[in-house]
Amino acid sequence: REIPGRTASTPPAQKVTTSSRSISNPHTNNGADFPPRRRHPTSIIMADRGTGARGGGFGARGGDRGRGGDRGRGRGRGRGRRGGKSEEKEWQPVTKLGRLVKAGKINSMEEIYLHSLPIKEYQIVDNFLPKLKDEVMKIKPVQKQTRAGQRTRFKAVVIIGDSEGHVGLGIKTSKEVATAIRAAIIIAKLSVIPVRRGYWGTNLGQPHSLPCKQSGKCGSVTVRLIPAPRGTGLVASPAVKRFLQLAGVEDAYTSSAGSTKTLENTLKAVFVAVSNTYGFLTPNLWKETKLLRSPLEEFADTLRDGKRY
């Protein structure tokens, strides 16, 4: 029968049911008239942590140490450090000279210099010269043109000495400043040389100056070192003065020529001049010296029987 107020063309309203069939998929109508549910709800609930094969953190990595755990920062990074970088490892020498030094067969750097033995491990220098002081003289960026563009690295110039007749120079380039400084210090230790000191006039007291005039050259820079009376001090530029202080020279005059603003060449020239102090023997060193066997020959049995690494 007809309902008053409704035309024949208007179908009767369908009854909305809440059966499981009509709402089986909340994102489609399925024949119902109620609007579909939003695909992206306004309220977001975080998912539970998984329990994967590798621990069950977010992404199934990191064990039971997800974000906010009591043993790390999640994602497998909470295992803790074993030992740490601060703990120095025991020195294991790999050269014959290093093995003899660790065994106590060589007692001083002078024995190494006497037989002109090459030093390949910086721990040898640390063992005999514990008072070494290092100073960074210059850090500058250097560039290389490549196909991809300019590659920038950092060059560090380091001098090292104990103010008692030993000095070294090291130059190293690296991508990071800290790495360049660390490597330059190691190179400086491996290049440590003895410095011969002397007097200006009468030989009273301890040696305070150089035994004679010396000069060194690197590139266009020429540096000349001249002995000076006691109390004169070091008459030199700041870089050369600091180098001579670490070498143990108290009084000296200096003369330089060339492009001395190139600090590397200036320090190299001073290094050559200082190393020339033992380049020849003065008459007071002409006494007969008894030749000794090299430590590598004298302790050959120890090297043969001991562990190599």
For 71-100, write each residue's pLDDT tens digit. Answer: 545 454 545 555 455 457 888 999 999 999
Q: What are the CA-CA distances from residue 102 to residues 29, 125, 131, 292, 302 (Å)? A: 85, 12, 19, 21, 12
Mean pLDDT of 17-21: 48
Average pLDDT over residues 219-238: 96
> What is the CA angle 117-127-162, rounded to 5?
90
Look at residue 212 and tell me whether its pLDDT is greater than 70: yes
More confident residue, 28 or 161: 161
Of 295, 260, 301, nearest to 107 (Cα)?
295
Is the pLDDT at 39 greater than 90? The verdict is: no
Share of the chain above pLDDT 70, in %: 71
Instruction: Decide: 181 and 154 in contact? Cβ < 8 Å.
Output: no
Answer yes or no: CATH 3.30.160.20 is held by domain 96-194: yes
Q: Distance between CA atoms of 274 and 192, rounded to whole angstroms? A: 11
Mean pLDDT of 222-227: 97
Least confident range from 16-20, 166-170, 204-208: namely 16-20
| 3-state SS record for the chain | CCCCCCCCCCCCCCCCCCCCCCCCCCCCCCCCCCCCCCCCCCCCCCCCCCCCCECCCCCCECCCCCCCCCCCCCCCCCCCCCCCCCCCCCCCCCCHHHHHHHCCCCCCHHHHHHCCCCCCCHHHHHHHCCCCEEEEEEEEEEEEEECCEEEEEEEEEEEEECCCCEEEEEEEEECCHHHHHHHHHHHHHHCCEECCCECCCCCCCCCCECCCCEEEEECCEEEEEEECCCCCCEECCHHHHHHHHHHCCCCEEEEEECCCCCHHHHHHHHHHHHHHHHCCCCHHHCCCCCCCCCHHHHCHHHHHHCCCC
Res 58 pLDDT > 50: no
Q: Where in the chain is the domain with CATH 3.30.230.10?
A: 214-285
How high is the mean pLDDT of the chain?
81
Among residues of the chain, what percentage have pLDDT more than 90? 58
Binning pLDDT at 50, 70 and 90, where does residue 197 land? very high
Q: Which residue has the higher pLDDT, 175 or 301?
A: 175
pLDDT band with cut points at 50, 70 and 90 for residue 285: confident
Average pLDDT over residues 229-238: 96
* Residue 188 confidence (pLDDT) above 70: yes
Structure tokens belonging to residue 235: 């008459």
107 pLDDT more than 80: yes
CA neighbours closer than 13 Å in the CB half-sphere of residue 279: 12
Nearest partner of 32 among 23, 41, 42, judged by Cα: 23
Provide mean pLDDT across the span 277-305: 86
Give the residue-averaged pLDDT of 190-210.
93
Question: Is CATH 3.30.230.10 the right assignment for the domain spanning 214-285?
Answer: yes
Structural contact between residues 223 and 216, judged by C-beta atoms closer than 8 angstroms: yes
Assign 180 a pLDDT band (cuts: 50, 70, 90): very high
Say if residue 22's pLDDT is above 50: no
Residue 113: how many other CB atoms lie within 10 Å: 14
Q: Pick 139 or 46 by higher pLDDT.
A: 139
Torsion-angle region of 292 (φ positive above 0: left; ψ -120 to 50: alpha; else: beta): beta
* pLDDT tier at 14, thresholds 50, 70, 90: low
Other Cβ atoms within 10 Å of 231 Cβ, number: 8
Residue 277 has pLDDT above 50, yes or no: yes
Mean of pLDDT values over 255-263: 96
Give the predicted TM-score (pTM) of the model.
Answer: 0.70
**pLDDT at site 151:** 96
Residues of the chain with CATH 3.30.160.20: 96-194
Query: What per-residue confidence (pLDDT) applies to 150?
Result: 95
Most confident of 4-8, 34-38, 147-151: 147-151
